[in-house]
Amino acid sequence: MPVLTPSPAQKHSKKSAPISVGAGFLALDWLLVGKNPVRSTKRSAGGSFGNVMAILAYMGWNSFPVARLGTDTYAKSLLEDLLEFKVKTDFIQREGKGTTPVIIVRVDEAPDGSQRSRFEWRHPTSGERLPSHRPYPRFLAQSIAEDLPEANVFYFDRAEPGSLWLATEMRQKGAVVFFEPSSYKNEKIFTACMAVSDIVKYSAERILEPPVTPNCPSPRLEIQTLGVRGLRFRLKEGQSKPRPWRHLPAFSASSIKDTTGCGDWCSAGLIHQLGNTSHAEFRHLDEASIIDGLRFGQALAAINCRFEGARGPMYAINRSELLVEAKKILQCNPYS
């Protein structure tokens, strides 16, 4: 199976822009507004992993997703979107027999008049089941490991053998490992993913009970998102038992068009603030710095609510404008 290998000139170092490498769920988001699917047919890269990689590239990072797609038109649209924001596609493989995952993101009006978004898994006109996620296999991860750049952060959103293997390798090379699971199924591999991660973030809506943290210093930072109530977090300081939870309320959005992708903006914002470091340095960051990173991520999430789609701000405003808006939110809502 062919693997795209970057030339020496394509490899990057930490001396330039920070570097993120990631693996997991990369899909094509097909945005539909209202019940009539004809009104909007915007297509963009999506999935938590895809969104975080794209947002980091938009924020000035060298972002390297590791994934495999098909050679279909869905893959073409997805890659065009990533390349628009200068995401490095060196490690995205395309297979003739493969398929590209697709998610319908439909935004419409709820009975109470508010905007709501929901995910659909069938073609809006034919009703056929759309392609779903395929795990990135361990043997492919091993085949590209030597060619991956030295990274500040490794992000993954699926508890799968290939992603776990990459996370372990990247951590040994000094990367901060960020794990954002969407579900808690296989306890053995899930616990192994937590044990190799510096940051674990999950939604209380998808994982009802906090997972049992491994009997080791990892993860140092555990984050549970609570929807409109914000998030809570807890830290470990070298011991197996974490500190008590601390709550950070969400920022109010000036308007809400779509809440899709807000969690991904929060993750990317935290990475952007804290991830330009090494694994060893991250373990010594003080709580105040971590709170600043979380609040910056929450500010980006509040801005994202004003736009349709999981990464709406990226198509409407530039990075400088986004940072100005985030600064305003933080100044108007000082933490105490």
- What domains, with CATH codes, occur in the chain? 18-332 (3.40.1190.20)
Residue with tokens 């906090």: 210
How distant, in Å, are the alpha carbons of 196, 225, 260, 300, 303 from that of 321?
36, 26, 21, 12, 11
Q: What is the pTM of this model?
A: 0.91
| Rg of the chain on CA atoms, in Å | 19
247-285 pLDDT per residue, tens: 999 998 777 888 889 999 999 999 999 877 778 888 888
Computed over every residue of the chain, the mean pLDDT equals: 88
Q: How long a stretch of residues is the chain?
A: 336
Q: What is the distance between the alpha carbons of residues 149 and 152, in angstroms, rounded to a whole number?
A: 10
User: Which bin fits 152, alpha (ψ -120 to 50), beta or left (φ > 0)?
Assistant: alpha
161-172 vs 187-196: helix axis angle to the nearest 10?
20
Helices 47-58 and 73-84, interaxial angle, to 10°? 30
Question: Is the CA virtual torsion 224, 179, 91, 161 positive or negative?
Answer: negative
pLDDT band, very low/low/confident/very high, at 141 (cuts 50, 70, 90): very high
Decide if pLDDT at 288 tops 90.
Answer: yes
pLDDT number for residue 4: 38
Q: Using 50, 70 and 90 to split pLDDT, how confident is the model at 40?
A: low
Q: How far apart are the C-alpha atoms of 222 and 178, rounded to whole Å?
A: 10
Tell whether the model's pLDDT for residue 99 goes beyond 90.
Answer: no
Res 239 pLDDT > 80: no
User: What is the distance between the alpha carbons of residues 234 and 243, in angstroms, rounded to a whole number?
Assistant: 6
pLDDT on residue 111: 64
CB atoms < 10 A from the CB of 329, how many?
A: 19
What pLDDT sits at residue 53? 98
pLDDT beyond 60 at 20? yes
Strands 176-179 and 199-203: parallel
Task: Please choose, from the candidates 249, 254, 274, 271, the residue with its C-alpha nearest in 3D space to the C-alpha of residue 334.
Answer: 249
Residue-level pLDDT at 112 = 62
Cα 132 to the center of its chain, rounded Å: 18
Task: Look at residue 208 and tell me whether its pLDDT is greater than 60.
Answer: yes
Strand partners of residue 233: 223, 246
The pLDDT > 90 percentage for the chain reads 63
Q: Which secondary-structure segment (H or E) carries 125? A: none
